[in-house]
Amino acid sequence: MALYPQQNAHRSICDLGGLWSFQLDPQEIGEQQGWFRTLPSPRSIAVPASWNEQFEDTRDYLGVAWYWRRVTVPPAWRGQRIMLRFGSATYAAKVWVDGKPVGSHLGGHLPFEFDISTSVSWDGPTIIAVQVENKLSPTRVPPSATNPELIANTFPDVTYDFFPYCGLDRPVLLYSLPPLHITDATVVTAIDGADGVIEVSVATSDKWNGRGVLRLETGSDPLTADLTFKNGTAQAALRLRKARLWSPDDPYLYPLSIALIEGDKVRDAYTLDIGIRTIEVRGDRLLLNGQPIQLRGFGRHEDFPVHGRGLDLPVLIRDHALLKWVGANSYRTSHYPYSDEAMAVADREGFLIIDEIPAVGLLFDDSEQAVATRLATCKQQISDLIARDKNHPSVIMWSVANEPSSRGALRGNTDSGLEFFMELLAHARAQDSTRPALLVGEQRTERSWIAQADVITVNRYWGWYILPGQIDKAVAQLARELDELHAATGKPVIIAEFGADAVAGTHSEPPQMWTEEYQAAMLKAYLDLAAARPWIVGLHVWNFADFKTGQGTHRALGINHKGVFTRDRQPKMAARFLRSRWAEGR
């Protein structure tokens, strides 16, 4: 799962995006009645896309639904390993190929795949059927609440403030691999003076004992190194003189190719685009390539009208163009991992990413067994996320949770939340020691939890939810709080969310809440506060663009209006203010 499918002389890809057959199954009878062979009365649905906004009767539906289509596997693939990969299925999926169960998966937003080599038909079309559901449960991540006080009071009723989109939101790919193939590669870069050091670990199928070659394209003479495999693993290092370092100002990528060689024949090959860079926390500063860096950017959502959270490449490109226009250099994947394609664009365009698992709104108000189940799920999500994104230079930090609530966390003498996050952060660091790990707290998050992270990261809405309409008083209170946090921990601080709702086109003088003027004034006050504190190393406005939520009295039209762009990506006054500050330096 670590390597994205690639088309080359040894591997092939068939994109299964397009129109699939689709059927709701609220009575959950499809599996008993063999819907994995044929649907009774299917309609067409677009893949990739969420199902919620494609039809009138699916908007709030979170139950079981079925996807189904015929696929012809290329005859030239006979003798190869045939893999079926799903970029995401939210939340739970079961998959059948020609009526045979091939596997299941729990958890949205991360890819999963199955070897279907023995299940496909070579004499005609192969039928692929997928059962998907997104039921809310207190033991899933993100969880539903057992305590009514902890829900968002919206419909659908969730513990988080964004819409619970469902379906096949990312590409579905059929691809082939040679029988002997590269299964994983890990690239770690370091800087030694003016040189770049690239350490590469490679794994193969079949515990292969053979040889391979690394080749780094440098723009002049390539660098090469031999790989000697023992039981399917090998390591090698390359040193590049006067390396061109990856950064937001110069996101330079070097092509690194890996080949498995037997005799004079290449058995498999794979190419990665790598960026040579380092990231570290030193004292109360965040350093990129040994130099202090300030994060300017946003929390974002994968959200757009009609396709919901479905991957839309033109929107993805437009969003990154607008991020550049406004002068941002970073964002957080709030509150779930974004697509493989988004990470690739961030690498190429030079954005710094805080990569977050879907652990939003974690609760500690139920049984120890439920808490343990959620912990195991979070650890698996961290492992899967790091396996997928470890080679992206754009990814600079791992976020293990967003806004966990301390209500109900204390049971007897045991702070279950503190134990939970100490273990979760330790797990992230054990999986990848080259990047800082953090968790993002809100007002109800215990400070002892946040203090365990490498960077103190908080969401604060002084001037909106607290002291509404009183920006000066609110920012003064925020300054006191942040000064105390920094004094107590000595660590760098990121304000990962701050902002105000603004309904586009509403204005007032003097500024008042819900107007574009108030939103811009509140952002300015926060930026001014941070400018006087060099240990505040990041400011992420909430949010990049307006996004869909459940229906509720505090979300007009089921939309969170904190975006500095509208949902269809038109700028509000706040976007133009940020551009003047970040891009134009005024």
Report pLDDT for 367.
84
pLDDT digits (tens, 9 = 90+) for 69-107: 999 999 999 999 999 999 999 999 999 999 999 999 999
Does the structure show a pLDDT above 80 at 244? Answer: yes
Report pLDDT for 409.
52
Q: In the predicted model, what is the mean pLDDT of residues 160-177?
A: 96
The whole-model pTM stands at: 0.96
Give 87-153 as a 3 state SS string: CCCECEEEEEECCEEEEEEECCCCCEEEECCCCCCCCCCEEEEEEEECCCCCCCCCCCCCCHHHCCC
| 475/81 Cα distance (integer angstroms) | 59
Torsion of CA 35, 38, 44, 49, to 10 degrees: 50
| 469/471 Cα distance (integer angstroms) | 6
Q: Which long-range contacts (CB under 8 A, 24 or more apart) does 364-369 make?
A: 364/404, 364/405, 364/406, 364/407, 364/408, 364/409, 364/416, 364/417, 364/420, 365/145, 365/146, 365/147, 365/150, 365/407, 365/408, 365/409, 366/138, 366/146, 366/408, 368/411, 368/416
Does the structure show a pLDDT above 70 at 151? Answer: no
The alpha helices in 434-508, defined as continuous H runs, are 447-450, 471-489
| 226/235 Cα distance (integer angstroms) | 9
| 367/346 Cα distance (integer angstroms) | 40
Does the structure show a pLDDT above 60 at 412? Answer: no
Report pLDDT for 416.
81
CATH topology of domain 279-583: TIM Barrel (3.20.20)
Q: In the predicted model, what is the mean pLDDT of residues 252-268?
A: 96
Does the structure show a pLDDT above 80 at 1? Answer: no
CATH homologous superfamily for the domain 182-274: Immunoglobulins (2.60.40.10)
Report pLDDT for 143.
87
Report pLDDT for 2.
79
Task: With beta carbons less than 8 A apart as the criterion, state whether 351 and 392 touch.
Answer: no
Q: In the predicted model, what is the mean pLDDT of residues 50-75?
A: 96
Domains 182-274 and 279-583 are alike in CATH topology: no
The token duo for 5 is 């499918």
Domain boundaries, the chain: 12-177, 182-274, 279-583
pLDDT digits (tens, 9 = 90+) for 104-150: 999 999 999 999 999 999 999 999 999 999 999 989 999 887 666 65
Amino acid identity of residue 472, one-letter, is D
Q: How confident is the model at residue 292 (pLDDT cuts 50, 70, 90)?
A: very high
Does the structure show a pLDDT above 90 at 365? Answer: no
More confident residue, 2 or 311: 311
CA-based torsion, 79, 81, 87, 92: positive or negative:
positive
Q: Which H or E run contains 345? A: helix 340-349
Report pLDDT for 149.
60
Does the structure show a pLDDT above 90 at 157? Answer: no
What's the mean pLDDT when you consider all of the chain? 95
Q: In the predicted model, what is the mean pLDDT of residues 350-379?
A: 93
Does the structure show a pLDDT above 80 at 230? Answer: yes
CA-based torsion, 43, 49, 54, 59: positive or negative:
positive
Q: In the predicted model, what is the mean pLDDT of residues 420-443?
A: 96
CATH number of 12-177: 2.60.120.260
More confident residue, 536 or 555: 536
Residues involved in catalysis: 403, 497
Does the structure show a pLDDT above 80 at 414? Answer: no
Report pLDDT for 410.
47
